[in-house]
Amino acid sequence: MINSDKREYLPFPEYEKWGEAFGLFVPIVLFSLAGLPQNARLTIICRFIARAQVTLKGIFHLWKIEGYQDCWILHRCMLDRLFHLNQLITKGEFELFDDWSFFQQYIARNKVRSDKRFQPHLSSEFFRDTTANKQRYRELLSKKPQWERPFPEEVAKRMKLDFLYKYGYDYASTLVHPMSNDGEFDFTMLTGLGNKAEYPNQFAVIHNSCLVAFLVLQEGMTGCGCGWRKIVNTCLDDFLKFLETGSKDYEMSLAQIINLGPEVVLCKMKDGG
């Protein structure tokens, strides 16, 4: 996880190949969860997993065009969602979080709609609320859902993964907000003025982002209240093994899952889940 020149990273094509396989595994998990009776927990977990996967794809694309600072920014976004997901699972606050999120987003849209300066130019479809949304807002208005975002450092410590905060979230935060050297590498890349070789390699953000996307998936699969087929858990372990040792066992276990076919049930709710 540490961004260090002494850390030996794999060649980029190896990470890209892992990312493509992981991108096949994630939808399999999502389809499995989507086939279960839905509730706020399952719905939000699926969304967080999907968001992490798409964010990881974006990081790979940005890395290819040397947009390394933006890779770190998206890396921080993924970590933020990992910490949120752990908090929701630990405290069982999915319904409250759903109400709070809806309430906050409704207020934000309403502020936009109420601004007379730009009303003639607003996209009515984008900012319009359905009758059901309006009714839900009126019901929530009387009790105003109270929920607070978690403190990333505290969640990381609780997960016994404090390095995720120190070397990921906290470090990447220095790249989110403007600094005096903001765009230094970008200037060199765009103009050719300066020496790109003087900048540290950026394999860390690829490796670390793969790890965080994996952790979001693992957190969701563990916290959804489901039991998984052994081959699914094996495949999940194999994806992590690649990041630890470079092992490609994930290729075989993923192929076994795919060969089972879509009719095979891969998970079921645990008793009381």
DSSP string, 191-211: H--S-GGGSPP-HHHHHHHHH
The structure tokens listed for 14 are 């190896």
Q: Judge whether 237 lies within some domain.
A: yes
Q: Is 214 inside any structural domain?
A: no
Q: How far is CA 123 from CA 54, 116, 126, 129, 132, in A?
A: 26, 14, 5, 12, 20
Residue 3 has a pLDDT of 45
Residue 244: give the domain boundaries: 11-66+226-273
Confidence (pLDDT) at 128:
79
Q: Is residue 26 part of a domain?
A: yes
Residue in this structure with the two tokens 């009515």, named with its chain if needed:
124
Instruction: Give yes or no for residue 73 having a pLDDT over 90.
Output: yes
Does position 2 have pLDDT exceeding 50, yes or no?
no
The reply to whether the predicted model has a pTM over 0.75 is yes
141-152 residue pLDDT tens? 998 999 999 999
In a domain, 18, yes or no: yes
Assigned token pair, 44: 């939000």
Average pLDDT, the chain: 92
Tally the domains of the chain. 2
- Any idea how long the chain is? 273
Give pLDDT, residue 123.
66
Q: Is position 195 within any domain?
A: no
Phi-psi bin for 122: left (phi > 0), alpha (psi -120 to 50), beta?
beta
Looking at per-residue pLDDT, the higher value among 114 and 190 belongs to 190
Which pLDDT score is estimated for 125?
67
- Boundary-marking domain end, from 146, 180, 207: 146
Within a domain: 166: no
What pLDDT, in 10s, does the model give residues 206-263? Answer: 999 999 999 999 999 999 999 999 999 999 999 999 999 999 999 999 999 999 998 9
> Cα(237)–Cα(229) distance, rounded to whole angstroms?
13
